[in-house]
């Protein structure tokens, strides 16, 4: 599992990462330090020293943004050809208790290639999201669905798991155009290879049981405008 980190020293819950387990599977963690200016790298090195066989650290000297941090992390993680590889936000807004559900989905249907967490506020689920972000997210989801030509509820949740494949290597092989909505660009790259209908059948959106806004998020409402710009760039770059 790739975990991108930028100035996370004050809120990284080390214990949650050290005790992460999924029954029947070995879970390895690759932390990507994205040029942090605080004590993040030192904290990650301490985590690695506690479980050197399971935890690795990739240090990017300059801040490159989440998209490139995740992409570089995937390149390193895929070198060992794992069954699955994914990325998970360092703040654990999506708790690791959700991860076994992601694995079960891929195990139960070999046609599926990726599972995306979806923040859907249903009865019996605890989705604690700031109202402004929720409504901006609904507008964004509508625009993204129209741009891609497939209906997707929540492309931007920071919890995703992929089945290892040659296509996955290709998708993560080149830098993304967008620093802000690279999740959308991932889908666009799969569509460029598989087509719209086949890609839609290979993605599964899993409604999360728990999700919460964590104080200190680096995404702001102002980033919405940057996301719109990047969505236009993605549309033009991958239009068929």
Per residue in 214-226, pLDDT (tens digit) is 876 656 656 778 8
CATH numbers and ranges of domains, the chain: 2-238 (3.90.550.10)
Give the model's pLDDT for residue 124: 95
More confident residue, 28 or 227: 28
What does DSSP assign to residue 118? E
As a whole number of angstroms, the distance between CA 4 and CA 220 comes to: 18
Across residues 182-186, what is the average pLDDT?
A: 97
Q: Which of the four pLDDT bands, split at 50, 70 and 90, describes residue 145?
A: very high
- Mean pLDDT, the chain, integer: 94
Q: Is the pLDDT of residue 227 over 90?
A: no
User: What is residue 218's predicted lDDT score, i.e. its pLDDT?
Assistant: 59
DSSP label at residue 164: -
Q: What is the pLDDT of residues 53-84, one digit of tens each?
A: 999 999 999 999 999 999 999 999 999 999 99
Q: What is the pLDDT of residues 96-131, one digit of tens each?
A: 999 999 999 999 999 999 999 999 999 999 999 988
Q: 79 vs 61, 103, 117, 127, CA distance in Å?
A: 21, 20, 25, 35
- Quote the CA–CA distance of 204 and 116 in Å, as a whole number: 6
DSSP state letter for 31: E
Asked whether residue 212 carries a pLDDT value surpassing 70, the answer given is: yes
Q: Which residues of 121-149 are buried (b: 16+ CB within 10 A; e: fewer)?
A: eeeeeebeeeeebeeebeebbebbeebbe
This prediction has a pTM of 0.94
The encoded tokens of residue 134 equal 């929720």
How many angstroms separate the CA atoms of 50 and 186, rounded? 33
């Amino acid at each position: 599992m790739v975990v991108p980190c930028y100035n996370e020293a004050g809120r990284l819950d080390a214990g949650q990462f050290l005790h992460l387990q999924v029954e029947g599977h070995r879970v390895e963690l690759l932390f990507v330090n994205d040029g942090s200016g605080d004590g993040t790298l030192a904290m990650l090195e301490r985590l690695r020293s506690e479980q050197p066989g399971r935890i690795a650290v990739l240090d990017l000297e300059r801040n490159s943004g989440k998209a490139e941090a995740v992409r570089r992390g995937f390149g390193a993680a895929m070198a060992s050809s794992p069954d699955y590889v994914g990325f998970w936000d360092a703040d654990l807004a999506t708790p690791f208790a959700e991860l076994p559900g992601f694995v079960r989905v891929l195990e139960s249907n070999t046609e599926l290639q990726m599972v995306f967490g979806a923040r859907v506020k249903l009865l019996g689920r605890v989705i604690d999201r700031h109202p402004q972000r929720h409504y901006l997210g609904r507008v964004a989801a509508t625009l993204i669905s129209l741009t891609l030509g497939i209906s997707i509820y929540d492309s931007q949740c920071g919890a995703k798991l992929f089945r290892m494949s040659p296509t996955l290597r290709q998708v993560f092989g080149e830098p993304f155009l967008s620093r802000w909505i690279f999740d959308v660009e991932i889908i666009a790259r799969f569509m460029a290879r598989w087509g719209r209908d086949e890609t839609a059948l290979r993605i599964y959106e899993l409604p999360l049981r728990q999700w919460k806004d964590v104080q200190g998020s680096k995404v702001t409402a102002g980033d919405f405008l940057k996301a719109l710009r990047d969505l236009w760039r993605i549309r033009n770059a991958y239009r068929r």
